């Protein structure tokens, strides 16, 4: 990490510590989410604590609206923003390889589009080189048409390599982040805490503002964000499910894509695609209406870039489904593969990583909950 | 904001009591104008610094454990006020707290549930989810959606009466003064705790060393106008909810985080390095409210809570760091106390400590013997460096001088006449119930109960 970044991190951690000290003396917000019970276990805050608490926070804003010390009060306490800024530093600090840390602030919509279109163009050129008549031909809805444009071996090879890289990058980030929170590696896999954290994550438990919904995008509680996030997450999972089923079809049964409309991979992919279209679009719409006091401007590009890639991945996938018998199929396939590839390549260097750190923080939270609280006598 | 239109009900104030009154009156069909003197960001008076409501209940509820019967609540109140309370009004408040939570929930207020392991859940007090500002925000949303007209930065500077009847108010807003006429008025504008000139009249120069824990907007202008119009006063200007807080707190608006919760773990000395009260008399939540007055009575209105390493980390973490030294003499120097005097006080205290089993969660048997004043619980020798200290000042939360009301929240004049169209709620009449002393969460109980009564009575009068 470069020197200016280290200084910036120290400054942010110092601000987070100042804010956490005020919050810990107040504790009015303890019912909103996991962050407050976690901070109440501490009497002082290390840098590791700041990273941990920052990644438990969903930046919903309930605590800011409820805060009697929020600006313009002289304490200038903006808890969600202070934690959001620390979160960006978490992403930078634990990025692997380290020299890509700067990507978090650069990965906007433009980067996403350029990456995706470059990859799509590369695929188009490769296909053109292999046989232009195939790329632009109209195909009957028959097995193997996709692989006439781009051979299966090439497609599978590229995606396996990218997936392996993403897995290694995320695993490396995790193995550096987890010990810094002060936990043993194997603690992460203990069943009760892992299961509790999974349940929280799959249900987005803390995106409920303590009951009525998150104060997002305004101070009026609502479940809009949780619902759009569910559409996004489960849309993504359905698409992964579609790919997994298709892989089994291919290697186990020897059935080649594209598959019929009523086949399992297509049904899963279509449902997932709709989720990935509506969910991220909704999140983008909410983000645009967001109270500017809560947002960290430095992360806006990263958030938008990731959401835009999800929307366009889904849009190109659905377009490919509807026009796969037309002459546009070859180009649409290239575009879709370009977007999927860009999405995966940028996963470890964009908003997606919140899932990794947040889940790790939730597991830690459940490990900690089993430990005794510091005794403060009769409060 | 249209100030020319005559309203059924004029609510002066913008905190919990004012909001309860405005919502209740509007729901009863009255046209309501609410005047909040603070800007929108600081709306809500001292309610934005509150956190809970003291509630009677005969069985465990979703947000309260066990039972807290009416009689126990009444006895608690009787004890802290030393009988300076109006039993009829007090019992009205106590009974209302059993049922008002449903009303609050229906108007957007949320409570912390008894299920969460680490949350503050108690037998006597229901905690607001997110604290008092969250409650205030919910009420403002509800009031606005009901059609209550709300003006911010609207300060009432004059009230006009004809005999015992309210006629109009003069409001300063947007650089101009407006005459506002209304059929009834609900005065819910708080006490005068942020008016240091008035505090000086009551306390003398000692007031200069007070800190106002809450809103800087409770200057007591409305209270003064009512008293000038002949309202019968209750309690007196030196009474209030006053706790010992960190001397380094801001002059206004420091709220809850200014707390210092280690008094019962160590000793408290004054400017002369002398102890002056039993620090271990009872649990801190039952004693914090008397320490403001105790410190106010000391020379220079300052005290120092002194503890040693044994007690560090065993109390709610304060927002300001402690002063710290490896020797008592060093600590005295940091506090600008006479090192020899502090040394004598600590030595005498340590020598008087009798052996016992320390347990901060019960009234333990660690006490001093032959010491004046004694320390009756949690007395342990101060002998383990490093030594720590927190400077203390009187932190005034709200004042009790108010106007006399009956159980319909109607204001009374000193000549015994009731003002038919003047109602009072919240701090401005809390002195009827709290002549002195304090128990946690009763301010919100009084405000909620009398806010609702005042709103209902005001609306009933104009709709009749």
Can you count the helices (H) and strands (E) in chain A? 16, 0
Q: Give the end-to-end CA distance of chain B in Å, rounded to a whole number.
A: 27
Average pLDDT over residues B396-415: 97
Give the residue among B457, B293, B311, B434 at the shortest CA–CA distance from B378. B311
Task: Tell me the pLDDT tens digit for each residue of B32-62.
Answer: 999 999 999 999 999 999 999 999 999 999 8
> Do residues A253 and A328 both lie within one domain?
yes
Taking alpha carbons only, the member of B206, B311, B305 closest to residue B246 is: B305
Q: Tell me, yes or no, whether A345 and A268 share the same domain.
A: yes
Tell me the chain B residues in contact with residue A77 when contact means C-beta distances shorter than 8 Å: none
Selected for mutation to probe chain A from B139, B319, B359 (highest A CB count within 10 Å) is B319
- Which of A96, A111, A139 is the C-terminal boundary of a domain? A96
Tokens 């004054």 sit at which residue? B270
Q: Distance from A187 to chain B by nearest Cα, in Å?
A: 22
Q: What is the chain B residue with the closest CA to A29?
A: B130
pLDDT at residue A233 greater than cutoff 90: yes
Residue A372 lies in a domain: no
Would you state the torsion angle of the CA atoms of residues B54, B59, B65, B67, taken in this order, to the nearest 10 degrees?
60
Instruction: Tell me the C-alpha to C-alpha distance, in Å, between residue A40 and each of A30, A35, A49, B120, B315.
Output: 8, 9, 12, 11, 12
Q: Are A228 and A268 in contact (CB under 8 A)?
A: no
Distance between alpha carbon B428 and the CA centroid of its chain, in Å? 12
The answer as to whether A324 is a domain residue is: yes
A282 and A208 fall within a common domain: yes
What is the reported pLDDT for A137? 81
* Alpha-carbon torsion (A365, A371, A374, A377), positive or negative: positive
Nearest to B269 by CA among B337, B220, B171: B337
Pairing, β B387-399 against β B165-173: unpaired
Please say if the pLDDT value at position B116 is more than 80.
no
- A166 and A202 together in one domain: yes
pLDDT mean over A307-328: 94
CB-based contact A215:A58 (threshold 8 Å): no
Mean of all residue pLDDT scores within chain B:
96
Angle (nearest 5°) at CA A239 between A238 and A244: 95
DSSP annotation string for A231-249? HHHHHHHHHHHHHHHHHHI
Band of pLDDT at residue B328, cut at 50, 70 and 90 = very high
Instruction: Report in angstroms the alpha-carbon separations of A249 from A134, A143, A254, A265.
Output: 24, 12, 6, 9
Q: What is the pLDDT of residue A294?
A: 85
Residues of chain B that touch chain A, judged by Cβ-Cβ distance less than 8 Å: 41-42, 48-49, 51, 110, 112-113, 116-120, 127-134, 137, 141, 250, 253, 255-257, 259, 261, 264-265, 283-285, 313-319, 360-361
Output DSSP code: residue B435. Answer: S
Q: Is residue A374 part of a domain?
A: no
Dihedral over alpha carbons B379, B381, B382, B383 (to 10 degrees): -160
Determine the Cα–Cα distance for residues B267 and B298; give it in Å rounded to an integer.
15
Contact state of A66 with B131 under an 8 Å Cβ cutoff = yes
Residue B242 carries which DSSP code?
A: E
What's the pLDDT band for A138 if we cut at 50, 70, 90?
confident
- At B118 the pLDDT is 60
Q: What is the pLDDT of residues B438-453, one digit of tens each?
A: 999 999 999 999 999 9
Shortest alpha-carbon distance between residue A373 and chain B (Å): 9
Bin B70: left if φ > 0, else alpha if -120 < ψ < 50, else beta: alpha
Q: Residues A228, A283: one domain?
A: yes
Q: Is A21 on the interface with B (CB under 8 A)?
A: yes
Shared domain for A43 and A143, answered yes or no, is no
Tell how strand B418-424 and strand B323-325 pair up. unpaired
Answer for the pair A63, A294: CB distance below 8 angstroms, yes or no: no
Residues of A whose CB is below 8 A from B251: none
* Angle of CA points A83, A278, A223, to nearest 5°: 50
What pLDDT does residue A295 have?
81
β-pairing, B402-403 with B233-234? Answer: antiparallel
Q: ipTM of this predicted complex?
A: 0.95
**B70 has pLDDT over 90:** yes
Give residue A376's pLDDT: 67
Range of the domain at A27: 3-96
The yes-or-no verdict on residue B349 having pLDDT over 70 is yes
- What's the average model confidence in pLDDT over A190-194? 95
Name the residue among B110, B113, B361 with its Cβ closest to that of A212.
B110
Q: What separation in angstroms does the CA of B146 have from each of B11, B189, B370?
A: 15, 21, 64
Nearest to B316 among A25, A66, A220 (CB): A25
State in words which class domain B7-204+213-237+400-463 has.
alpha beta
Q: Predicted confidence band at A44 (pLDDT cuts at 50, 70, 90)?
A: confident
Is residue A124 located within the same domain as residue A82? no
Q: Is the pTM of this model over 0.90?
A: yes
| Closest by Cβ to A73, choosing from B127, B253, B314 | B253
Q: Give span(s): CATH 3.50.50.60, chain B.
A: 7-204+213-237+400-463
Which CA distances in Å does B412 have to A265, B230, B404, B419?
79, 9, 5, 6
Domain closes at, from A55, A74, A96: A96
Find the mean pLDDT for residues B295-301. Answer: 97
As for how many domains chain A has, the answer is 2
**How does the average pLDDT of chain A come out, rounded?**
90
Please name the member of A31, A63, A378 whose beta carbon is closest to the beta carbon of B112.
A31
Q: Residue A106 has what pLDDT?
A: 79
What DSSP designation does B357 have?
-
What is the reported pLDDT for A113?
87
Decide which of 3.30.450.20, 3.40.50.2000, 3.90.700.10, 1.10.150.120 is the CATH code for B242-395.
3.90.700.10
List the single best residue of B41, B107, B130, B361 to mutate versus A (max A Cβ within 10 A).
B130
Record: contact B130-A63, CB cut-off 8 A: yes
Asked whether residue A42 is domain-assigned, the answer is: yes
Which of B51, B47, B92 has its CA nearest to residue B74?
B92
Which residue intervals of chain B bear CATH 3.90.700.10? 242-395
Q: Is residue A115 part of a domain?
A: yes
d(CA A126, CA A198): 42
Residue A286 lies in a domain: yes
**Same domain? A33 vs A138:** no
Distance CA B335, CA B226 (A): 44
| Percentage above 90 pLDDT, chain B | 94
Residue B464 has pLDDT above 80, yes or no: no
A76: left (phi over 0), alpha (psi -120 to 50) or beta: left
The reply to whether A110 and A256 lie within a common domain is yes
Q: Average pLDDT for residues B366-393, to the nearest whole number?
A: 97
pLDDT, one tens digit per residue, over B198-212 is: 999 999 999 999 999
Helix residue ranges per DSSP H, A181-223: 191-203
Rounded to whole angstroms, the Cα distance separating B318 from B309 reads: 16
Residues counted in chain A: 379
Q: Does A53 lie in the same domain as A122?
A: no
pLDDT in tens, B382-397: 999 999 999 999 999 9
Alpha-carbon distance of B22 to B15, in angstroms, equals: 10
With CA atoms as reference, report the closest residue to A71 among B45, B138, B42.
B42
Q: How many residues does chain B have?
A: 464
Per-residue pLDDT at A101: 86
Q: What is the pLDDT of residue A1?
A: 42
Residues A224 and A146 in one domain: yes
Q: How confident is the model over A148-183, as pLDDT tens digits?
A: 888 888 889 999 999 999 999 999 999 999 999 999
Confidence of residue A130 (pLDDT cuts 50, 70, 90): confident
For residue B236, is the peptide bond before it cis, meaning its omega torsion is within 30 degrees of 0? no
Q: Last residue of some domain: A73, A96, A119? A: A96
């Amino acid at each position: 990490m470069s020197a200016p970044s280290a200084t910036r991190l120290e400054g942010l951690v110092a601000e987070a510590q100042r804010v956490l000290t005020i919050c810990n003396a107040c504790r009015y917000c303890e019912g909103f989410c996991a962050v407050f019970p976690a901070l109440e276990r501490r009497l002082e805050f290390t840098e590791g604590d700041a990273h941990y608490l920052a990644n438990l926070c969903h930046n919903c804003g309930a605590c800011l609206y409820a805060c009697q010390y929020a600006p313009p009060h002289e304490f200038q306490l903006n808890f969600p923003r202070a934690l959001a800024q620390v979160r960006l530093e978490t992403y930078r600090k634990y990025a692997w390889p380290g020299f890509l840390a700067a990507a978090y602030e650069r990965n906007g919509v433009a980067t996403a589009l350029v990456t995706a279109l470059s990859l799509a163009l590369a695929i188009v050129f490769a296909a053109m080189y292999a046989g232009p008549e195939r790329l632009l031909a109209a195909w009957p809805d028959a097995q193997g048409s996709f692989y006439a444009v781009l051979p299966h071996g090439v497609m599978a090879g590229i995606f396996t390599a990218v997936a392996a890289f993403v897995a290694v990058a995320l695993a490396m980030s995790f193995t550096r982040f987890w010990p810094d929170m002060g936990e043993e590696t194997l603690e992460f896999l203990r069943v009760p805490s892992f299961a509790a954290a999974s349940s929280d994550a799959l249900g987005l438990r803390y995106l409920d503002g303590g009951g009525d919904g998150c104060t997002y995008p305004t101070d009026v509680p609502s479940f809009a964000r949780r619902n759009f996030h569910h559409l996004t997450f489960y849309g993504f999972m359905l698409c992964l499910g579609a790919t997994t089923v298709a892989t089994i079809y291919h290697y186990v049964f020897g059935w080649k894509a594209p598959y019929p409309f009523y086949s399992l991979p297509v049904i899963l992919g279509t449902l997932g695609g709709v989720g990935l279209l509506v969910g991220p679009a909704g999140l983008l719409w909410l983000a645009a209406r967001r109270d500017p006091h809560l947002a960290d401007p430095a992360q806006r590009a990263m958030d938008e870039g990731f959401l835009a890639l999800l929307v366009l991945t889904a849009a190109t996938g659905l377009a490919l489904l509807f026009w796969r018998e037309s002459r546009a199929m070859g180009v649409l396939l290239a575009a879709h593969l370009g977007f999927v590839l860009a999405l995966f390549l940028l996963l470890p260097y964009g908003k997606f990583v919140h899932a990794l750190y947040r889940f790790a923080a939730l597991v830690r939270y459940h490990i900690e909950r089993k430990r005794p609280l510091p005794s403060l006598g009769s409060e | 904001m249209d100030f020319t239109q005559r309203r059924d009900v004029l609510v002066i104030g913008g905190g919990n009591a004012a909001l309860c009154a405005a919502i209740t009156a509007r729901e009863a069909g009255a046209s309501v104008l609410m005047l909040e003197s603070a800007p929108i960001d600081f709306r809500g008076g001292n309610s934005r610094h509150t956190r809970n409501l003291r509630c009677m209940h005969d069985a465990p509820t979703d947000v309260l454990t066990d039972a807290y019967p009416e009689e126990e609540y009444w006895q608690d109140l009787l004890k802290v006020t030393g009988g300076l309370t109006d039993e009829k009004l007090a019992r009205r408040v106590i009974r209302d707290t059993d049922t008002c939570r449903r009303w609050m929930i229906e108007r957007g207020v949320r409570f912390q549930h008894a299920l969460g392991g680490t949350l503050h859940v108690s037998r006597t007090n229901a905690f607001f989810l997110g604290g008092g500002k969250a409650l205030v925000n919910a009420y403002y949303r509800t009031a606005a959606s009901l059609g209550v007209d709300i003006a911010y930065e609207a300060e009432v500077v004059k009230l006009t009466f004809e005999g015992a009847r309210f006629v109009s108010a003069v409001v300063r807003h947007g650089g101009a003064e407006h005459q506002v006429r209304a059929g009834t008025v609900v005065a819910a504008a708080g006490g005068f705790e942020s008016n240091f000139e008035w505090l000086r009249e009551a306390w003398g120069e000692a007031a200069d060393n007070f800190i106002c824990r809450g809103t800087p907007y409770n200057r007591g202008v409305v209270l003064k106008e009512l008293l000038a119009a002949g309202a019968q006063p209750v309690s007196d200007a030196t009474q209030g909810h006053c706790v010992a807080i960190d001397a380094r707190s801001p002059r206004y608006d420091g709220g809850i985080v200014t707390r210092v919760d280690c008094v019962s773990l160590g000793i408290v000395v004054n400017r002369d390095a002398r102890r002056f009260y039993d620090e271990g008399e009872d649990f801190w939540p039952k004693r914090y409210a008397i320490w403001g007055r105790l410190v106010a009575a000391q020379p220079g209105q300052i005290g120092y809570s002194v503890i040693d390493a044994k007690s560090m980390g065993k109390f709610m973490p304060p927002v300001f760091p402690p002063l710290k030294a490896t020797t008592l003499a060093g600590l005295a120097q940091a506090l600008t106390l006479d090192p020899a005097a502090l040394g004598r006080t600590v030595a005498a205290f340590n020598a008087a400590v009798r052996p016992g089993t320390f347990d901060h969660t019960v009234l333990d048997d660690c006490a001093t013997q032959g010491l004046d004043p004694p320390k009756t619980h949690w007395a342990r020798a101060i002998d383990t460096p490093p030594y720590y200290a927190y400077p203390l000042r009187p932190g005034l939360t709200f004042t009790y001088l108010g106007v006399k009301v009956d159980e319909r929240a109607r204001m009374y004049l000193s000549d015994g006449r009731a003002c038919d169209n003047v109602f009072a709620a919240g701090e401005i009449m809390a002195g009827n119930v709290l002549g002195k002393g304090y128990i946690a969460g009763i301010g919100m109980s009084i405000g909620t109960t009398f806010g609702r009564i005042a709103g209902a009575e005001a609306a009933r009068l104009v709709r009749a």
